[in-house]
Chains A and B, each alone.
Chain A
Amino acid sequence: MNEPYKTTVEEERAPVIEPGHTFGTVTEKISAIVLTRPTSNGWFLGFGVAFMLTMMMLYAIGYLFLKGIGIWGSTIPIGWGFAIVNFVWWIGIGHAGTLISAILLLLRQQWRNSINRFAEAMTLFAVACAGIFPAIHVGRPWLAYWLFPIPNTMRVWPQFRSPLMWDVFAVSTYATISAVFWFIGLIPDLGTLRDRATHPAARLIYGTLAMGWRGSARHWHRYETAYLLLAGLATPLVLSVHTVVSFDFAVGIVPGWHTTIFPPYFVAGAIYSGFAMVLMLAIPIRKIYGLEDFITERHLQNSAKVMLATGLIVAYGYGVEAFMSWYSGDRYDAFTIWNRLHGPYAFFYYSLLACNIFIPQVLWIRKLRTSPAALFFVSFVVLIGMWLERFIIVVVSLHRDFLTSSWGMYYPTRWDWMTYIGTIGMFLALMFLFLRLLPAISIFEMRTLLPEAEVKE
């Protein structure tokens, strides 16, 4: 690569961190959000609304436990309904956090340092929302622990040849590893907060959580090794999780589910929706907390590019689905596509194509890729599109079975909607608490990006 070309490219790119910052200012700016900045009325309003939605979800779930699954719209032939649609949607959103924190770390993409912390928090909260759905969908949630191989007096065990069992292990491993990955990333920053907090209670809490971290060179060395190994372990893990989720469908014989394209296309779709959620969170956060120096145009652009790429993989997946249903010569499979295009849910399928394939193509235009408002809008559209995708996979595939006698329609009830919207509220409420109580950007990883952190041998 010749030198002039390289410099022009570098000049055009926005920096990962705006110039002029020192270790002190980075520390000051990020920890002030938690320690010194007064809690704004906007925060109370936002958290209040999100908290009320959480209460609505708990009410809907409480009523569900009282009455049973009958209050939902899911009934034969559509036994999976909103619960599974939302489960897949949420767990997919979580994937971007692990992609940013683990895969981009292994690829040495330094721009990840300012968005990995809240993206990981997003993963954790999204998985928490996802986990609710299968647990309440089992019908008798007080027996949900039967999913785990726990020795019991009935002397029965789970059946490990079922993809639903694989899912239990994949999702619970994912939740555990995401939680510990997030937590060990926080330890040095908790040490910073412990040293900077003035309130005794804050010192005690942050100090306890920091576990006596003192930044010793030996500790850092082991810490970095452990962090890198965890990233290496989380990378195949995150790819496996949505693969296993797709097995829940692909291993079944229902037309529209029984296809080998599902694992890669589910993983790409997960990252697609996850980056959309990252952008929808990053854009307001950087604005409200004045973090434009740390979450720069570069981050927005890179996220938009990832969305564009994964969106095209998803589009390829739709294409292959349509092609295979024709090429297989299977009349039930062919009918699935015909039914998507002309059946009672055709409107949803066209909306899906618009949301996931056509509208996001505007990201090819640099001007829109760097405009926060346009990105926010496209991300919103993609999140709706990815929800519609799961709706079509679950509901539209099930509602036209092999026998016309078992055809039906799916109508979600208000309890379905209350539970779904309630989980969005819970997600936002947790996010608000996280922003208020913990550093939303990794302080120590931001320090390593500064020029003064460089050491010559």
Chain B
Amino acid sequence: MKREPIYGIMAEFDTAQHLVDAARTTHQAGYQKIDAYSPFPIEGLAEEIGFHRNAVPLVVLIGGIIGGLSGYLMQYWISVVDYPLNIGGKPTHSWPAFIVITFEMTILFAGLSAVLGMLALNGLPMPYHPVFNVPRFAMASKDRFFLIVFSSDPKYDPVATRSFLEALAPRSVSEVPS
């Protein structure tokens, strides 16, 4: 895949409020391929940049169902089909005794799907990402807030986008080499 030489244009802000406002303005101006970076989760910021499809809950639900079913069926197959044992005359299919492990397997699978699903959907681990080419971006994990317009955006224009971002009164604006 051939890469654009410029990954996008990035603006740096001092406060969370400023970033949210800037993100809203940028999205309303018609930019679609944008992203915002902050040192902590900001409620509503994802919506401002036009992110609405969060598949994590579905992944967790599917993981939980698979875990629960496999937990119960494993016990059923082992205790009833493959290795039936007479324990104090109790039925081989003693379903109440199978509940605990079914429950634990549901939690285990759902929990692991939450973690692995979140990481996979976020595309992590990712050893290289162009935003780190901007030296000031190291502050994004401390106390600075960044907004980027990707060069893949249909409305992207090296000059116009730059002056648009500068109009938002950021602390600095820089090009992100890819």
Contact = CB atoms under 8 A, between A and B. Distances in A.
A218 B122 contact: yes
Nearest to B15: A452
A453 interface: yes
Q: Say whether chain A's binding surface is mostly helix, strand, loop, or mixed.
A: helix
A237 B110 CA distance: 12
Give the contact-size bracket for chain B: 35 or more
Interface stretch (A162-170, A289-297, A409-417): A162-170
A362 interface: no
B79 A221 contact: no
A236 B110 CA distance: 13
A184 B115 contact: yes
A253 to B, nearest CB: 12
Question: Which of B60, B85, B126, B143 counts the most chain A CB atoms within 10 A?
Answer: B143
B168 interface: no
A6 interface: no
Contacts of B9: none
A170 to B, nearest CB: 5
Contacts of A341: none
Interface string A242-257: 0010010000000000
A160 B108 contact: no
Contacts of B118: 184, 222-223, 225-226
Nearest to A446: B40
Contact of B49 (A173, A217, A230, A233): A217
Nearest to B101: A169
Contact of A149 (B48, B78, B121, B126): B78
B17 interface: yes
Interface in A208-234: 211-226, 229-230, 233-234
A225 B60 CA distance: 10
Nearest to A23: B143
Contacts of B82: 155, 157
What are the 5 closest A-B residue pairs judged by CB atoms, nearest first? A211-B125, A23-B143, A212-B126, A226-B118, A221-B46
Interface of A: 22-24, 27, 149, 155-161, 163, 165-166, 169-170, 173, 176-177, 180-181, 183-184, 188, 191-192, 194-196, 211-226, 229-230, 233-234, 236-237, 240, 244, 247, 444-445, 447-448, 452-457
